[in-house]
Structure 1
Amino acid sequence: MEHVLNVVEGEKAVIESYSGAFEPFEVHYAETFIISACVEEYIINPAGEAADEKVGVVVASVRG
Protein backbone atom coordinates (compact mmCIF):
# COMPACT_ATOMS: atom_id res chain seq x y z
CA MET A 1 0.00 0.00 0.00
CA GLU A 2 1.47 3.35 -1.05
CA HIS A 3 1.52 6.21 1.47
CA VAL A 4 0.63 9.67 0.17
CA LEU A 5 1.66 12.32 2.70
CA ASN A 6 1.18 16.08 2.94
CA VAL A 7 3.09 18.40 5.30
CA VAL A 8 0.47 20.39 7.24
CA GLU A 9 2.57 21.78 10.10
CA GLY A 10 6.17 22.97 10.26
CA GLU A 11 8.42 24.72 7.73
CA LYS A 12 10.26 21.70 6.31
CA ALA A 13 11.25 18.12 7.06
CA VAL A 14 13.68 15.43 5.96
CA ILE A 15 12.27 12.02 5.06
CA GLU A 16 14.57 9.03 5.57
CA SER A 17 14.28 5.26 5.25
CA TYR A 18 15.54 3.16 8.17
CA SER A 19 16.74 0.52 5.71
CA GLY A 20 18.26 2.92 3.17
CA ALA A 21 15.58 2.10 0.59
CA PHE A 22 15.87 5.66 -0.77
CA GLU A 23 18.10 8.72 -0.40
CA PRO A 24 16.89 11.17 2.28
CA PHE A 25 14.90 14.03 0.79
CA GLU A 26 13.51 17.35 1.96
CA VAL A 27 9.87 18.46 1.82
CA HIS A 28 8.34 21.82 2.69
CA TYR A 29 5.05 23.02 4.16
CA ALA A 30 2.04 22.13 1.96
CA GLU A 31 4.07 19.75 -0.25
CA THR A 32 2.76 16.27 -1.01
CA PHE A 33 5.02 13.24 -1.41
CA ILE A 34 4.70 9.47 -1.87
CA ILE A 35 6.39 6.63 0.00
CA SER A 36 6.43 3.38 -1.97
CA ALA A 37 4.76 0.27 -0.60
CA CYS A 38 8.14 -1.52 -0.60
CA VAL A 39 9.39 0.85 2.15
CA GLU A 40 8.26 -0.66 5.43
CA GLU A 41 9.64 1.96 7.85
CA TYR A 42 10.59 5.58 7.43
CA ILE A 43 11.17 8.58 9.67
CA ILE A 44 10.14 12.22 9.33
CA ASN A 45 12.37 14.78 11.08
CA PRO A 46 12.10 18.58 11.23
CA ALA A 47 14.86 20.31 9.22
CA GLY A 48 16.65 23.60 8.73
CA GLU A 49 15.95 26.54 11.00
CA ALA A 50 12.78 24.77 12.14
CA ALA A 51 14.67 21.68 13.36
CA ASP A 52 13.43 22.24 16.92
CA GLU A 53 9.76 22.57 15.86
CA LYS A 54 7.06 19.97 15.35
CA VAL A 55 6.23 18.64 11.90
CA GLY A 56 2.70 17.49 11.17
CA VAL A 57 1.68 15.32 8.22
CA VAL A 58 -1.54 13.86 6.90
CA VAL A 59 -1.15 10.28 5.64
CA ALA A 60 -3.41 8.54 3.12
CA SER A 61 -2.95 4.89 2.17
CA VAL A 62 -3.54 4.05 -1.49
CA ARG A 63 -4.06 0.51 -2.73
CA GLY A 64 -2.51 -0.36 -6.06
Structure 2
Amino acid sequence: MPILPQRRGGSFEEALAGAVYGPAAVPARWTALLHVPLPGFGGRVLRTEDLRDLARALASGH
Protein backbone atom coordinates (compact mmCIF):
# COMPACT_ATOMS: atom_id res chain seq x y z
CA MET A 1 0.00 0.00 0.00
CA PRO A 2 1.53 3.39 -0.97
CA ILE A 3 2.19 5.99 1.68
CA LEU A 4 0.30 9.17 0.86
CA PRO A 5 1.98 12.54 1.41
CA GLN A 6 0.82 14.73 4.28
CA ARG A 7 -1.51 17.51 3.16
CA ARG A 8 -2.46 20.76 4.75
CA GLY A 9 -6.06 21.84 5.14
CA GLY A 10 -7.76 18.62 6.18
CA SER A 11 -10.80 19.02 3.92
CA PHE A 12 -10.75 15.38 2.78
CA GLU A 13 -10.23 14.11 6.32
CA GLU A 14 -12.90 16.47 7.62
CA ALA A 15 -15.43 15.18 5.10
CA LEU A 16 -14.71 11.57 6.01
CA ALA A 17 -14.85 12.18 9.76
CA GLY A 18 -18.10 14.11 9.42
CA ALA A 19 -19.68 11.47 7.20
CA VAL A 20 -18.67 8.54 9.39
CA TYR A 21 -18.81 9.95 12.93
CA GLY A 22 -20.98 13.08 12.60
CA PRO A 23 -20.03 16.76 12.73
CA ALA A 24 -19.07 16.62 16.41
CA ALA A 25 -16.13 14.36 15.52
CA VAL A 26 -14.51 16.98 13.28
CA PRO A 27 -11.76 18.79 15.21
CA ALA A 28 -12.39 22.53 15.61
CA ARG A 29 -8.88 23.25 14.31
CA TRP A 30 -9.96 21.88 10.93
CA THR A 31 -12.98 24.16 10.67
CA ALA A 32 -11.56 27.27 12.37
CA LEU A 33 -9.76 28.32 9.19
CA LEU A 34 -12.63 27.42 6.85
CA HIS A 35 -13.94 30.37 4.88
CA VAL A 36 -15.55 30.80 1.48
CA PRO A 37 -15.37 34.27 -0.12
CA LEU A 38 -18.46 35.21 -2.13
CA PRO A 39 -17.48 37.21 -5.21
CA GLY A 40 -19.87 40.05 -5.94
CA PHE A 41 -21.20 40.27 -2.36
CA GLY A 42 -19.09 43.13 -1.04
CA GLY A 43 -16.41 41.00 0.55
CA ARG A 44 -18.86 38.70 2.35
CA VAL A 45 -17.26 35.49 3.58
CA LEU A 46 -19.06 32.35 4.72
CA ARG A 47 -17.51 30.76 7.80
CA THR A 48 -18.06 27.29 9.24
CA GLU A 49 -21.36 28.06 10.97
CA ASP A 50 -22.71 29.84 7.87
CA LEU A 51 -21.88 26.78 5.77
CA ARG A 52 -23.55 24.45 8.30
CA ASP A 53 -26.69 26.60 8.22
CA LEU A 54 -26.68 26.53 4.42
CA ALA A 55 -26.25 22.73 4.37
CA ARG A 56 -29.13 22.29 6.83
CA ALA A 57 -31.38 24.55 4.75
CA LEU A 58 -30.52 22.70 1.54
CA ALA A 59 -31.04 19.30 3.17
CA SER A 60 -34.44 20.32 4.54
CA GLY A 61 -35.59 21.78 1.22
CA HIS A 62 -35.86 25.39 2.46
Q: Structure 1 or 2: larger helix share?
A: 2
Q: What is the TM-score normalised by the length of structure 2?
A: 0.25
Structure with the bigger RCO (C-alpha within 8 Å, sep 6+) is 1
Q: What is the TM-score normalised by the length of structure 1?
A: 0.25
Larger radius of gyration: 2
Q: Structure 1 or 2: larger strand share?
A: 1
